[in-house]
Amino acid sequence: MRVKRYVVNALPEAVSMIRTDLGKDAVILDSKEIRVGGFMGMFGKKKMEVIAAVETGAQKNAETQQRKPSPEVNAVVEQILQTAQRSNTAVMEPPQLPTVPIIEKPSDKRIEREQFIIDEIRDLREYMVKLTKQQSDHNTLSEPLLALKDRLILQEMEHELVDKLIDTLLEEQKQSERIFDNKEVWLNATRIIEGWLEPYSKAQLNTEVRVLHFVGPTGVGKTTTIAKLAAEQTIKLGKKVGFITSDTYRIAAVDQLRTYANILNVPLEVVFSPMDLPKAHKQLESRDLILMDTAGRNFRSELHVSEVNSLLQTKEPSETILVLSLTGKTTDMAIVAERFSKFGINKVLFTKLDETIVYGAILNLILKYELYPTHMASGQTVPDDIEPFQAKKYVQMLLGASEYE
Ligand SMILES: Nc1nc2c(ncn2[C@@H]2O[C@H](COP(=O)(O)OP(=O)(O)O)[C@@H](O)[C@H]2O)c(=O)[nH]1
Ligand SMILES: [Mg+2]
Protein backbone atom coordinates (compact mmCIF):
# COMPACT_ATOMS: atom_id res chain seq x y z
CA MET A 1 0.00 0.00 0.00
CA ARG A 2 1.29 3.46 -0.87
CA VAL A 3 0.43 6.08 1.72
CA LYS A 4 0.85 9.80 1.21
CA ARG A 5 0.25 12.84 3.40
CA TYR A 6 -1.05 16.15 2.05
CA VAL A 7 -1.31 19.51 3.77
CA VAL A 8 -3.81 21.73 1.96
CA ASN A 9 -6.09 24.69 2.55
CA ALA A 10 -9.27 22.81 1.82
CA LEU A 11 -10.24 19.23 1.24
CA PRO A 12 -11.27 19.55 -2.41
CA GLU A 13 -7.73 20.70 -3.16
CA ALA A 14 -6.35 17.44 -1.75
CA VAL A 15 -8.83 15.35 -3.71
CA SER A 16 -7.47 16.49 -7.07
CA MET A 17 -3.85 16.07 -5.87
CA ILE A 18 -4.59 12.54 -4.66
CA ARG A 19 -6.22 11.69 -7.98
CA THR A 20 -3.12 12.87 -9.87
CA ASP A 21 -0.55 11.25 -7.54
CA LEU A 22 -2.18 7.99 -6.56
CA GLY A 23 -4.82 7.48 -9.23
CA LYS A 24 -8.56 7.06 -9.08
CA ASP A 25 -8.42 4.00 -6.78
CA ALA A 26 -6.90 5.98 -3.93
CA VAL A 27 -8.84 6.31 -0.70
CA ILE A 28 -8.69 8.93 2.03
CA LEU A 29 -7.68 7.25 5.29
CA ASP A 30 -7.80 10.26 7.53
CA SER A 31 -8.28 14.01 7.43
CA LYS A 32 -8.07 16.57 10.17
CA GLU A 33 -7.65 20.25 10.75
CA ILE A 34 -4.13 21.32 11.76
CA ARG A 35 -2.30 24.56 12.41
CA VAL A 36 0.89 25.32 10.54
CA GLY A 37 3.55 27.77 11.76
CA GLY A 38 2.66 30.19 14.53
CA PHE A 39 4.05 30.47 18.03
CA MET A 40 3.93 27.59 20.55
CA GLY A 41 0.99 26.07 18.76
CA MET A 42 -0.89 29.35 18.69
CA PHE A 43 -1.62 31.80 15.88
CA GLY A 44 -0.85 29.13 13.28
CA LYS A 45 -2.54 29.04 9.91
CA LYS A 46 -5.47 26.65 9.63
CA LYS A 47 -4.79 23.79 7.19
CA MET A 48 -6.14 20.35 6.45
CA GLU A 49 -3.96 17.28 6.79
CA VAL A 50 -5.13 14.50 4.53
CA ILE A 51 -3.72 10.99 4.51
CA ALA A 52 -4.45 9.03 1.36
CA ALA A 53 -3.48 5.57 0.25
CA VAL A 54 -3.63 3.28 -2.72
CA GLU A 55 -3.18 -0.46 -2.79
CA THR A 56 -0.25 -1.93 -4.65
CA GLY A 57 -0.59 -4.92 -7.02
CA ALA A 58 1.01 -7.44 -4.66
CA GLN A 59 -1.30 -6.67 -1.83
CA LYS A 60 -4.33 -6.90 -4.06
CA ASN A 61 -3.99 -10.67 -4.15
CA ALA A 62 -3.41 -11.11 -0.48
CA GLU A 63 -6.07 -12.78 1.67
CA THR A 64 -6.33 -9.91 4.09
CA GLN A 65 -6.51 -7.30 1.39
CA GLN A 66 -8.71 -4.27 2.03
CA ARG A 67 -11.51 -3.83 -0.45
CA LYS A 68 -12.20 -0.45 -1.95
CA PRO A 69 -15.72 0.89 -1.76
CA SER A 70 -18.30 -0.30 -4.23
CA PRO A 71 -19.25 1.88 -7.23
CA GLU A 72 -22.44 2.96 -5.40
CA VAL A 73 -20.42 4.11 -2.42
CA ASN A 74 -18.00 5.91 -4.69
CA ALA A 75 -20.83 7.66 -6.50
CA VAL A 76 -22.30 8.94 -3.24
CA VAL A 77 -18.89 10.07 -2.01
CA GLU A 78 -18.31 11.83 -5.31
CA GLN A 79 -21.59 13.70 -4.81
CA ILE A 80 -20.62 14.69 -1.29
CA LEU A 81 -17.30 16.00 -2.44
CA GLN A 82 -18.94 17.99 -5.20
CA THR A 83 -21.35 19.50 -2.68
CA ALA A 84 -18.42 20.43 -0.46
CA GLN A 85 -16.54 21.93 -3.41
CA ARG A 86 -19.54 23.97 -4.49
CA SER A 87 -20.18 25.41 -1.06
CA ASN A 88 -16.51 26.19 -0.50
CA THR A 89 -16.76 24.92 3.03
CA ALA A 90 -13.20 24.00 3.69
CA VAL A 91 -13.76 22.89 7.28
CA MET A 92 -16.28 20.20 6.49
CA GLU A 93 -14.95 16.76 7.33
CA PRO A 94 -15.39 14.33 4.47
CA PRO A 95 -16.94 10.99 5.19
CA GLN A 96 -14.20 8.47 5.94
CA LEU A 97 -14.03 6.18 2.99
CA PRO A 98 -14.83 2.75 4.28
CA THR A 99 -12.43 -0.10 3.95
CA VAL A 100 -13.98 -3.49 4.33
CA PRO A 101 -12.08 -6.79 4.36
CA ILE A 102 -12.84 -8.66 1.20
CA ILE A 103 -14.68 -11.94 1.39
CA GLU A 104 -14.12 -14.20 -1.58
CA LYS A 105 -17.75 -14.86 -2.45
CA PRO A 106 -20.51 -12.32 -1.99
CA SER A 107 -22.43 -13.31 1.09
CA ASP A 108 -25.52 -11.95 2.81
CA LYS A 109 -23.25 -10.52 5.45
CA ARG A 110 -21.24 -8.63 2.88
CA ILE A 111 -24.35 -7.25 1.18
CA GLU A 112 -25.67 -6.24 4.59
CA ARG A 113 -22.42 -4.50 5.45
CA GLU A 114 -22.33 -2.76 2.09
CA GLN A 115 -25.89 -1.55 2.64
CA PHE A 116 -24.88 -0.32 6.07
CA ILE A 117 -22.06 1.70 4.55
CA ILE A 118 -24.30 3.13 1.86
CA ASP A 119 -26.82 4.14 4.54
CA GLU A 120 -24.10 5.72 6.62
CA ILE A 121 -22.89 7.72 3.66
CA ARG A 122 -26.41 8.76 2.76
CA ASP A 123 -26.87 10.06 6.32
CA LEU A 124 -23.58 11.90 6.06
CA ARG A 125 -24.65 13.38 2.78
CA GLU A 126 -27.94 14.62 4.26
CA TYR A 127 -26.04 16.09 7.17
CA MET A 128 -23.68 17.79 4.78
CA VAL A 129 -26.50 19.22 2.67
CA LYS A 130 -28.01 20.58 5.90
CA LEU A 131 -24.70 22.09 6.91
CA THR A 132 -24.32 23.60 3.46
CA LYS A 133 -27.81 25.11 3.75
CA GLN A 134 -26.95 26.59 7.14
CA GLN A 135 -23.71 27.88 5.71
CA SER A 136 -25.50 29.41 2.75
CA ASP A 137 -28.09 30.98 5.09
CA HIS A 138 -25.23 32.63 6.88
CA ASN A 139 -23.84 33.83 3.58
CA THR A 140 -27.10 35.08 2.09
CA LEU A 141 -29.35 36.16 4.98
CA SER A 142 -28.88 39.53 6.60
CA GLU A 143 -28.41 39.69 10.38
CA PRO A 144 -32.04 40.71 11.07
CA LEU A 145 -33.38 37.87 8.90
CA LEU A 146 -31.06 35.37 10.57
CA ALA A 147 -32.16 36.58 14.00
CA LEU A 148 -35.81 36.19 13.00
CA LYS A 149 -35.20 32.70 11.65
CA ASP A 150 -33.37 31.62 14.81
CA ARG A 151 -36.14 32.97 17.01
CA LEU A 152 -38.92 31.24 15.10
CA ILE A 153 -37.10 27.92 15.15
CA LEU A 154 -36.77 28.27 18.95
CA GLN A 155 -40.50 29.03 19.01
CA GLU A 156 -40.97 25.59 17.40
CA MET A 157 -42.62 27.07 14.34
CA GLU A 158 -42.54 24.43 11.63
CA HIS A 159 -39.42 24.68 9.49
CA GLU A 160 -41.48 24.76 6.31
CA LEU A 161 -43.38 27.78 7.57
CA VAL A 162 -40.20 29.50 8.71
CA ASP A 163 -38.68 28.98 5.25
CA LYS A 164 -41.84 30.26 3.58
CA LEU A 165 -41.75 33.39 5.72
CA ILE A 166 -38.06 34.01 5.08
CA ASP A 167 -38.52 33.46 1.33
CA THR A 168 -41.40 35.95 1.26
CA LEU A 169 -39.30 38.50 3.15
CA LEU A 170 -36.34 37.94 0.80
CA GLU A 171 -38.62 38.47 -2.18
CA GLU A 172 -40.02 41.69 -0.68
CA GLN A 173 -36.52 42.84 0.14
CA LYS A 174 -35.44 42.19 -3.44
CA GLN A 175 -38.35 44.16 -4.81
CA SER A 176 -37.64 47.11 -2.56
CA GLU A 177 -33.97 46.93 -3.66
CA ARG A 178 -32.64 47.36 -0.15
CA ILE A 179 -31.83 45.37 2.99
CA PHE A 180 -34.50 45.50 5.69
CA ASP A 181 -33.34 46.58 9.13
CA ASN A 182 -34.55 44.94 12.36
CA LYS A 183 -37.64 47.06 12.59
CA GLU A 184 -38.67 46.45 8.99
CA VAL A 185 -38.11 42.72 9.30
CA TRP A 186 -40.25 42.63 12.44
CA LEU A 187 -43.06 44.72 10.95
CA ASN A 188 -43.12 42.83 7.66
CA ALA A 189 -43.00 39.44 9.37
CA THR A 190 -45.91 40.56 11.58
CA ARG A 191 -47.91 41.60 8.53
CA ILE A 192 -47.18 38.35 6.65
CA ILE A 193 -48.10 36.03 9.56
CA GLU A 194 -51.20 38.07 10.37
CA GLY A 195 -52.14 37.64 6.71
CA TRP A 196 -51.77 33.85 7.02
CA LEU A 197 -54.03 33.89 10.09
CA GLU A 198 -56.57 36.25 8.56
CA PRO A 199 -58.90 33.49 7.24
CA TYR A 200 -58.96 31.92 10.72
CA SER A 201 -59.25 35.00 12.84
CA LYS A 202 -62.99 35.42 13.05
CA ALA A 203 -63.68 32.24 14.92
CA GLN A 204 -65.61 33.44 17.92
CA LEU A 205 -68.21 31.08 19.29
CA ASN A 206 -71.12 30.71 16.97
CA THR A 207 -74.01 32.49 18.67
CA GLU A 208 -76.55 30.56 16.62
CA VAL A 209 -75.44 27.34 18.23
CA ARG A 210 -77.06 26.26 21.50
CA VAL A 211 -74.80 23.32 22.36
CA LEU A 212 -71.04 23.54 22.75
CA HIS A 213 -68.97 20.41 23.34
CA PHE A 214 -65.46 20.53 24.72
CA VAL A 215 -63.07 17.71 23.93
CA GLY A 216 -59.36 17.18 24.39
CA PRO A 217 -56.74 15.27 26.37
CA THR A 218 -56.83 14.92 30.16
CA GLY A 219 -55.75 17.93 32.16
CA VAL A 220 -55.64 20.47 29.33
CA GLY A 221 -58.20 22.61 31.15
CA LYS A 222 -61.56 21.67 29.62
CA THR A 223 -63.55 21.89 32.86
CA THR A 224 -61.84 25.10 33.97
CA THR A 225 -62.45 26.62 30.53
CA ILE A 226 -66.12 25.67 30.62
CA ALA A 227 -66.44 27.41 33.99
CA LYS A 228 -64.70 30.51 32.66
CA LEU A 229 -66.96 30.68 29.59
CA ALA A 230 -70.09 29.96 31.61
CA ALA A 231 -69.24 32.81 33.98
CA GLU A 232 -68.76 35.15 31.04
CA GLN A 233 -72.04 34.09 29.45
CA THR A 234 -74.09 34.30 32.64
CA ILE A 235 -72.55 37.31 34.40
CA LYS A 236 -71.62 39.47 31.42
CA LEU A 237 -74.21 38.46 28.83
CA GLY A 238 -77.04 37.41 31.15
CA LYS A 239 -77.52 34.08 29.37
CA LYS A 240 -79.10 31.04 30.95
CA VAL A 241 -76.43 28.34 30.81
CA GLY A 242 -76.68 24.60 31.49
CA PHE A 243 -73.92 22.02 31.96
CA ILE A 244 -73.74 18.40 30.84
CA THR A 245 -70.80 16.22 31.75
CA SER A 246 -69.91 12.78 30.48
CA ASP A 247 -66.67 12.74 32.42
CA THR A 248 -67.71 10.03 34.82
CA TYR A 249 -64.41 8.14 34.80
CA ARG A 250 -63.26 10.11 37.81
CA ILE A 251 -65.65 11.03 40.61
CA ALA A 252 -63.64 14.18 41.27
CA ALA A 253 -64.24 15.35 37.71
CA VAL A 254 -68.01 15.53 38.23
CA ASP A 255 -67.50 17.22 41.60
CA GLN A 256 -65.22 19.79 40.03
CA LEU A 257 -67.89 20.85 37.52
CA ARG A 258 -70.61 20.60 40.19
CA THR A 259 -68.70 23.09 42.32
CA TYR A 260 -68.64 25.59 39.47
CA ALA A 261 -72.31 24.82 38.69
CA ASN A 262 -73.25 25.66 42.28
CA ILE A 263 -71.22 28.87 42.35
CA LEU A 264 -72.65 30.06 39.04
CA ASN A 265 -76.12 28.70 39.75
CA VAL A 266 -76.09 26.61 36.58
CA PRO A 267 -77.97 23.28 36.37
CA LEU A 268 -75.78 20.22 35.74
CA GLU A 269 -76.74 16.92 34.11
CA VAL A 270 -74.48 13.87 34.26
CA VAL A 271 -74.60 11.35 31.40
CA PHE A 272 -73.10 7.86 31.55
CA SER A 273 -73.73 6.85 27.95
CA PRO A 274 -75.02 8.37 24.71
CA MET A 275 -78.44 6.94 25.64
CA ASP A 276 -78.71 9.37 28.58
CA LEU A 277 -78.22 12.39 26.35
CA PRO A 278 -81.79 13.02 25.14
CA LYS A 279 -83.00 13.10 28.76
CA ALA A 280 -80.26 15.51 29.78
CA HIS A 281 -81.09 17.83 26.90
CA LYS A 282 -84.76 17.67 27.81
CA GLN A 283 -83.92 18.70 31.38
CA LEU A 284 -81.98 21.68 30.06
CA GLU A 285 -84.57 22.63 27.44
CA SER A 286 -85.07 26.11 28.83
CA ARG A 287 -81.38 27.07 28.84
CA ASP A 288 -79.97 29.44 26.19
CA LEU A 289 -76.62 27.69 26.02
CA ILE A 290 -75.47 24.21 26.98
CA LEU A 291 -71.81 23.56 27.65
CA MET A 292 -70.84 19.90 27.60
CA ASP A 293 -67.74 18.55 29.32
CA THR A 294 -66.18 15.26 28.23
CA ALA A 295 -63.55 12.97 29.66
CA GLY A 296 -60.00 13.41 28.52
CA ARG A 297 -58.78 10.14 27.06
CA ASN A 298 -55.81 8.92 25.17
CA PHE A 299 -56.82 10.65 21.98
CA ARG A 300 -53.85 9.35 20.11
CA SER A 301 -56.07 6.30 19.84
CA GLU A 302 -58.59 6.75 17.06
CA LEU A 303 -61.03 4.50 18.93
CA HIS A 304 -61.29 6.95 21.81
CA VAL A 305 -61.79 9.81 19.42
CA SER A 306 -64.68 8.06 17.70
CA GLU A 307 -66.08 7.06 21.11
CA VAL A 308 -66.18 10.64 22.31
CA ASN A 309 -67.58 11.68 18.97
CA SER A 310 -70.54 9.35 19.42
CA LEU A 311 -71.34 11.22 22.63
CA LEU A 312 -71.54 14.49 20.81
CA GLN A 313 -74.41 13.69 18.51
CA THR A 314 -77.31 16.00 19.17
CA LYS A 315 -80.35 16.76 17.09
CA GLU A 316 -79.85 20.47 17.31
CA PRO A 317 -77.03 22.56 15.91
CA SER A 318 -73.96 22.07 17.99
CA GLU A 319 -70.32 22.89 17.82
CA THR A 320 -67.32 20.99 19.17
CA ILE A 321 -64.23 22.74 20.42
CA LEU A 322 -60.93 20.96 20.79
CA VAL A 323 -59.05 22.17 23.87
CA LEU A 324 -55.26 21.94 23.71
CA SER A 325 -52.71 23.02 26.28
CA LEU A 326 -49.54 24.73 25.14
CA THR A 327 -47.63 22.78 27.76
CA GLY A 328 -48.23 19.65 25.67
CA LYS A 329 -45.58 18.36 23.30
CA THR A 330 -45.92 19.80 19.82
CA THR A 331 -45.98 16.38 18.17
CA ASP A 332 -48.62 15.00 20.57
CA MET A 333 -50.78 18.06 19.98
CA ALA A 334 -50.49 17.54 16.23
CA ILE A 335 -51.58 13.90 16.49
CA VAL A 336 -54.64 14.82 18.58
CA ALA A 337 -55.53 17.70 16.24
CA GLU A 338 -55.25 15.42 13.24
CA ARG A 339 -57.47 12.75 14.81
CA PHE A 340 -60.20 15.24 15.68
CA SER A 341 -60.01 17.14 12.42
CA LYS A 342 -60.83 13.83 10.70
CA PHE A 343 -64.17 13.98 12.50
CA GLY A 344 -64.81 17.44 11.11
CA ILE A 345 -63.89 19.31 14.29
CA ASN A 346 -62.48 22.63 13.23
CA LYS A 347 -62.47 24.85 16.30
CA VAL A 348 -59.66 24.94 18.80
CA LEU A 349 -59.09 26.66 22.12
CA PHE A 350 -55.56 27.00 23.47
CA THR A 351 -54.88 26.96 27.23
CA LYS A 352 -51.92 27.49 29.57
CA LEU A 353 -50.27 30.20 27.48
CA ASP A 354 -49.07 31.49 30.84
CA GLU A 355 -46.98 28.38 31.40
CA THR A 356 -44.77 28.58 28.35
CA ILE A 357 -42.78 31.01 26.24
CA VAL A 358 -42.97 28.82 23.13
CA TYR A 359 -45.96 29.60 20.94
CA GLY A 360 -45.19 28.16 17.48
CA ALA A 361 -47.53 25.19 17.93
CA ILE A 362 -50.57 27.48 17.70
CA LEU A 363 -49.63 28.70 14.23
CA ASN A 364 -48.56 25.24 13.06
CA LEU A 365 -51.83 23.60 14.10
CA ILE A 366 -54.11 26.35 12.78
CA LEU A 367 -52.51 26.34 9.36
CA LYS A 368 -51.89 22.61 9.02
CA TYR A 369 -55.29 21.35 10.20
CA GLU A 370 -57.30 24.44 9.23
CA LEU A 371 -58.48 24.92 12.79
CA TYR A 372 -60.26 28.10 13.83
CA PRO A 373 -58.98 29.33 17.20
CA THR A 374 -61.73 30.61 19.49
CA HIS A 375 -59.92 31.61 22.70
CA MET A 376 -56.61 31.78 24.48
CA ALA A 377 -56.55 30.92 28.20
CA SER A 378 -53.64 32.05 30.32
CA GLY A 379 -54.21 31.15 33.93
CA GLN A 380 -56.21 29.21 36.48
CA THR A 381 -58.45 32.04 37.62
CA VAL A 382 -62.12 31.63 36.80
CA PRO A 383 -63.51 33.62 35.05
CA ASP A 384 -60.77 36.14 34.21
CA ASP A 385 -58.01 34.16 32.56
CA ILE A 386 -59.51 33.73 29.14
CA GLU A 387 -59.92 35.96 26.11
CA PRO A 388 -60.98 35.61 22.51
CA PHE A 389 -58.14 34.66 20.20
CA GLN A 390 -56.56 37.77 18.70
CA ALA A 391 -54.19 37.19 15.81
CA LYS A 392 -52.40 40.48 16.42
CA LYS A 393 -51.67 39.73 20.05
CA TYR A 394 -50.65 36.18 19.22
CA VAL A 395 -48.21 37.21 16.48
CA GLN A 396 -46.55 39.61 18.92
CA MET A 397 -46.05 36.76 21.37
CA LEU A 398 -44.57 34.63 18.61
CA LEU A 399 -42.22 37.28 17.24
CA GLY A 400 -41.29 38.70 20.61
CA ALA A 401 -40.51 42.28 21.60
CA SER A 402 -43.13 44.66 20.30
CA GLU A 403 -40.82 47.67 20.68
CA TYR A 404 -41.08 48.38 16.97
CA GLU A 405 -44.82 48.94 16.98
N1 LIG B 1 -51.66 27.76 34.24
C2 LIG B 1 -52.83 27.40 33.74
N3 LIG B 1 -53.49 26.38 34.29
C4 LIG B 1 -54.69 26.05 33.78
C5 LIG B 1 -55.27 26.73 32.68
N6 LIG B 1 -56.46 26.13 32.41
C7 LIG B 1 -56.60 25.15 33.30
N8 LIG B 1 -55.55 25.07 34.13
C9 LIG B 1 -55.30 24.12 35.24
O10 LIG B 1 -55.05 22.85 34.70
C11 LIG B 1 -55.51 21.85 35.60
C12 LIG B 1 -56.44 20.88 34.86
O13 LIG B 1 -57.60 21.59 34.46
P14 LIG B 1 -59.00 20.86 34.20
O15 LIG B 1 -59.97 21.94 33.84
O16 LIG B 1 -59.36 19.97 35.32
O17 LIG B 1 -58.60 19.99 32.92
P18 LIG B 1 -59.47 18.88 32.17
O19 LIG B 1 -58.96 17.56 32.63
O20 LIG B 1 -59.17 19.10 30.72
O21 LIG B 1 -60.89 19.12 32.49
C22 LIG B 1 -56.19 22.58 36.73
O23 LIG B 1 -55.30 22.67 37.78
C24 LIG B 1 -56.49 23.95 36.15
O25 LIG B 1 -56.55 24.95 37.13
C26 LIG B 1 -54.52 27.83 32.11
O27 LIG B 1 -54.92 28.47 31.13
N28 LIG B 1 -53.33 28.11 32.67
MG1 LIG C 1 -62.28 17.89 33.34
Taking each helix axis from N to C end, the angle separating 159-176 and 360-369, rounded to the nearest 10 degrees, works out to 90
Gap between the Cα atoms of 27 and 306, Å rounded: 59
Check whether residue 362 and residue 217 sit in a common domain: yes
Check whether residue 79 and residue 155 sit in a common domain: no
Return the pLDDT at 138: 67
Judged against a pLDDT cut of 50, whether residue 61 lies above it is answered with no
Gap between the Cα atoms of 323 and 320, Å rounded: 10
Judged against a pLDDT cut of 60, whether residue 224 lies above it is answered with yes
Ligand 1 atom at shortest distance from the alpha carbon of 220: 20
Judged against a pLDDT cut of 50, whether residue 91 lies above it is answered with no
Check whether residue 344 and residue 258 sit in a common domain: yes
pLDDT digits (tens, 9 = 90+) for 235-280: 988 999 999 998 888 878 999 999 999 999 999 999 988 888 889 9
Q: Which residues have a Cβ under 8 Å from the Cβ of 56 and sit 6 or more positions away?
A: 1, 2
223 lines ligand 1 (CB under 6 A): yes
Check whether residue 38 and residue 160 sit in a common domain: no
Q: 279 lies in a domain?
A: yes
Check whether residue 186 and residue 274 sit in a common domain: no
Ligand 1 atom at shortest distance from the alpha carbon of 256: 16
Pocket test for ligand 1, best of 213, 243, 326, 380 (most atoms within 8 A of CB): 380
Ligand 1 atom at shortest distance from the alpha carbon of 214: 20
Mean pLDDT across 200-218: 82
Return the pLDDT at 108: 81
Return the pLDDT at 298: 66
Check whether residue 220 and residue 115 sit in a common domain: no
How many domains are there within the chain? 3
Q: 402 lies in a domain?
A: no
Check whether residue 342 and residue 230 sit in a common domain: yes
Closest of 60, 165, 76 to residue 118, by C-alpha = 76
* Nearest CA, atom 6, ligand 1: 221
Judged against a pLDDT cut of 80, whether residue 293 lies above it is answered with yes
pLDDT digits (tens, 9 = 90+) for 270-286: 998 888 888 999 999 99
- Residue-averaged pLDDT of the chain: 83
Closest of 380, 334, 335 to residue 353, by C-alpha = 380
Cα 291 to ligand 1 centroid, rounded to whole Å: 17
Gap between the Cα atoms of 330 and 153, Å rounded: 13
Ligand 1 atom at shortest distance from the alpha carbon of 216: 20
Domain that holds residue 148: 141-199
Check whether residue 217 and residue 310 sit in a common domain: yes
245 lines ligand 1 (CB under 6 A): no
Return the pLDDT at 399: 96
pLDDT digits (tens, 9 = 90+) for 3-25: 899 898 888 888 888 888 888 88
